[in-house]
Amino acid sequence: MTDTFYDRLPVLDNFSEVANPERYTPVPGDWVVAVGDVRDSTGAIEEGLYKEVNMVGASLIVAVLNAIGHRSVPYVFAGDGAMLCVSETHAEAVRAALGGTRRMADDAFGLRLDVGLVPVQDLVQDGHTIMVARYRLSDEIVQAVFLGSGLYLAEEWVKADPTGPYGVPSSVTGSADFEGVQCRWEDVTSHREEIVALLVRATGTSLQDSAEIYGDILDRLRDIYGADDCSRPVLHSQLQMNVSPGGVAPERRVRTHDDGWWERLTYWPRVWIQSTIGRILMALDWSTEATDWGRYKEDLETHTDFRKMDGTLREVLAGTREQREALKQYLEAQYDAGRLVYGLDVSDSAMITCLVFQHEKEHVHFVDGADGGYADAARVLKEREEQVEG
């Protein structure tokens, strides 16, 4: 049954394996790619809406997962958007969730979200592949990794013509369920000198060629930045909750988007009470049937997706200016050699957006560079890509 094929894939335990095509399986031809992208995210970020942009991207994932009964499907968070692969049998439910998220983004934040559904079969017929594998992020969490140009092309098709054959019609404006999306942590200042948000896309002439390039990049990143414990952007010792009215405002706007005035008015007090209880339980090292509160921050650290592969390598790294300069020198040489294009954004802190479905196991935390991160890096990557094509 293709509906459950993702659950049956083996799990990679070492991130270096994401560069090995033999560990991947093609996404079934009767699946579709759900795409969401915030239009002019660069402009929104320049206006100070970087948290709101991230919230919309995370909300898209939550809305789709809730719409399909929280089935296990592969997805990737891209900072200013997201992509998910789902069975065609769920296409109508997903289309409704995409339309509802688009409406929420506009109503709550004044952001334009382009959304669409692209059949995998159309991508394959156009000569593109979507290969997927599962990577163990922690003992409890497994995330999807991808190889091939299919996801990138699906996003480009939707962005190029959001009202075209793959776009979700503007008439689809129903409600979406955002239960699970949270934003309750302070930005995390780098424990080194800075935070780097990095995007790298190999430009090999074949899937195998690109895979070898990614392998070289991962080796060089490890040489420059060291082991995970050195470059991980979020450490549990740094985590501080921000449950002020302003800090919770993006979450409140998402979660109460279709609610009445009473729910909107009382949302922050309810979050404050929940968070205060949570902090007390963390301090007491308390365990319940649902949650080991004493380990919650440690789990958050290991459940943070600071590196991923979706056909483009995405990493958020804590490091020094010297390390960043060494990385740029390597990437520029590879860019000049025609092996890759890349984008890189530097900030002093990382931002966390959370999906919390069940406290005990299912809390996944998306990390991005503050003040732009992946979105700014994507803009730079696109500029380099156009220079190559021009």
d(CA 118, CA 158): 8
**One-letter amino acid for residue 122 of the chain:** D
Q: Both tokens of residue 207?
A: 């899937």
pTM above 0.85, yes or no: yes
d(CA 85, CA 120): 9
The 10s digit of each residue's pLDDT in 51-87 is 999 999 999 999 999 999 888 899 999 889 999 999 9
The 10s digit of each residue's pLDDT in 85-133 is 999 999 999 999 999 999 999 999 999 999 999 999 999 999 999 999 9
Question: What is the three-class DSSP state of 340?
Answer: strand
Question: What is the three-class DSSP state of 178?
Answer: coil
Using the predicted structure, report yes or no on whether residue 362 has a pLDDT greater than 80: no
Q: How much is the average pLDDT of 289-311? A: 86
Which phi and psi (to 5°) does residue 8 adopt?
A: -90, 0
d(CA 368, CA 81): 12
For 2-179, CATH number out of 3.40.50, 1.10.10, 2.40.360, 3.30.70 equals 3.30.70
For the chain, the maximum distance between any two Cα atoms, rounded to a whole number of angstroms, is: 60
Could you tell me if 170 and 98 are in contact, meaning their C-beta atoms sit under 8 angstroms apart?
A: no
Using the predicted structure, report yes or no on whether residue 137 has a pLDDT greater than 50: yes
- 201-222 burial: b if 16+ Cβ within 10 Å, else e: bbbeeebeebbbbbbbbbeebe
**One-letter amino acid for residue 316 of the chain:** V
Q: Both tokens of residue 249?
A: 């405002």
Tracing tokens 């409140």 back to the chain, one arrives at 252
What residues does each domain of the chain span? Answer: 2-179
The 10s digit of each residue's pLDDT in 328-358 is 999 999 999 999 999 999 999 999 987 766 4
Query: What burial class does residue 177 get, using C-beta atoms within 10 Å of its C-beta: 0-12 exposed, 13-18 middle, 19+ buried?
Result: middle
**One-letter amino acid for residue 174 of the chain:** G
The 10s digit of each residue's pLDDT in 211-244 is 999 999 999 999 999 987 789 999 999 998 888 8
Q: What is the per-residue pLDDT for 216?
A: 96
The 10s digit of each residue's pLDDT in 245-288 is 998 999 999 999 999 989 999 999 999 998 888 888 888 888 77
Could you tell me if 106 and 113 are in contact, meaning their C-beta atoms sit under 8 angstroms apart?
A: yes
Q: What is the per-residue pLDDT for 359?
A: 45
